[in-house]
Structure 1
Amino acid sequence: MQLSSKQIFIRRLQMEDMNSLLDLRVRNRQFFQPFEPIIADSHYSPEGQRELLEKVHQSWENGSGYGFGIFLNDNSRLVGRVNLSNVVLGAWESCTIGYFLDEAFNGRGLTTEAVYLAVQFAFGHAALHRVQGAVMPRNVGSIRVLEKAGFRYEGFSEYYLKINGKWEHHNIYSITRELWDPGKTAM
């Protein structure tokens, strides 16, 4: 399955993406570090990426998550990831969203397009009702991505996630099927 917008497309990550994903992670390690949990050095190896892609595959198979690569339309280069995780059905029918983009491509609207496409998948193929994102208040760029994709601010959560070795406060944003505009294009 592939979803496309003006500048990018997203598709399920495959084992064939391992080397491109490893290159992306290694080149952006310092750039991503302030916004991620502490990651073991083994993650930045072919074996670490193989293990990650196996987990992505398992999550797709059991419906607990959907890991997408973000690819440029003009040359199919992998430039980031967008993930729908923690999928819970029943009365909640919701998930959380996370994403990252190669530093060299920031500021072009690519992440907003990818988030929009992932939400389209969540409300379509995955038949979910709500998508939630959590962002550290100082991460203004990421907040703007969610706002441009139609997410609404819900509130402030103290000591929400352990990021880079420190418990960080987060702003919580969400979008529900009722607030989703399927006619809107992904920028």
Structure 2
Amino acid sequence: MNLRRDGERVYIRPMKRSDAAALYEVRTRNLDFFQTYEPIRAKLVLSLEDYQARIEDDILHWQEQTGYTFGVFLRETDEFVGRVSLSNIVYGAWKNCTIGYFMDQRHNGKGYTTEAVALAVDFALTDGGLHRVQAAVMPWNQASIRVVEKVGFRFEGLSKWYLQINGKWEDHNIYAVTQEDWHK
């Protein structure tokens, strides 16, 4: 199974222990930017050791097939620029997961997120053995809505007070793509 997926301008691959410093740097530099889109953290600034522990968790989830987290890297420079995660994986009759992602603010608006999400969905619906990938997006997050629509997700409905984001319960649009939809 090929765990690295190459796009035109980015590639994704499982996070490695050696990626902790790059993850720490991107997350720390984008702390204020990401806060609008994420739950409030118990600690405002996590340490490098905290990010090393997150990657250890990612590795364990890969081994247990309960989650697949990829780093997003620029093909030209190998610079770490973001992350895309397939989590809440359920096999059996459902074969479903949820997708989440972030991109370094310096690289927003360049199509990298769309490319990385498409690569992760392709993994999920092929080598990952899943049938459905679900995305939950706040209705006001137009950039993220564009990402999932460009990748081929369909709108399924509104989930009221779905997640607590930045201290507030936020509604989320639910989108999904299934093997039947996947055109890759």
TM-score (norm 2): 0.97
Question: Partner letter of residue 17 of structure 2?
Answer: M
TM-score (norm 1): 0.95
Partner of residue 176 from structure 1, selected from 170, 175, 178: 178
The correspondence of residues 89-100 of structure 1 with structure 2, limited to 5 A, is: 89-100=91-102
Structure 1 unpaired stretches of 5+: 183-187
Question: Partner letter of residue 146 of structure 1?
Answer: V
| Structure 1 equivalent of residue 52 of structure 2 | 50
Deviation at residue 63 of structure 1 after TM alignment: 0.4
The separation in 2 between residues aligned to 1:138 and 1:171, in whole angstroms, is 10
The separation in 2 between residues aligned to 1:40 and 1:181, in whole angstroms, is 41
| Structure 1 equivalent of residue 132 of structure 2 | 130
| Structure 1 equivalent of residue 116 of structure 2 | 114
Runs of 4+ in 1 over 3 A off after TM superposition: none
Question: Partner letter of residue 38 of structure 2?
Answer: E
Aligned length: 182
| Structure 2 equivalent of residue 24 of structure 1 | 26
RMSD: 0.9
| Structure 2 equivalent of residue 9 of structure 1 | 11
> Does structure 2 conserve the Cα–Cα contact (< 8 Å) formed by 1:43 and 1:49?
no
Question: Partner letter of residue 81 of structure 2?
Answer: V
The separation in 1 between residues aligned to 2:94 and 2:132, in whole angstroms, is 8
Q: SS state of the match for residue 153, structure 1?
A: strand
- CA separation of 1:61 and 1:43: change in aligned 2, threshold 3 A: farther
Q: Percent identity?
A: 51
Task: Write the deviation string for residues 27-63 of structure 1: whole angstroms up to 9, x where unpaired.
Answer: 0000000100112327621111011111101110100
Structure 2 unpaired stretches of 5+: none
> Does structure 2 conserve the Cα–Cα contact (< 8 Å) formed by 1:159 and 1:170?
yes
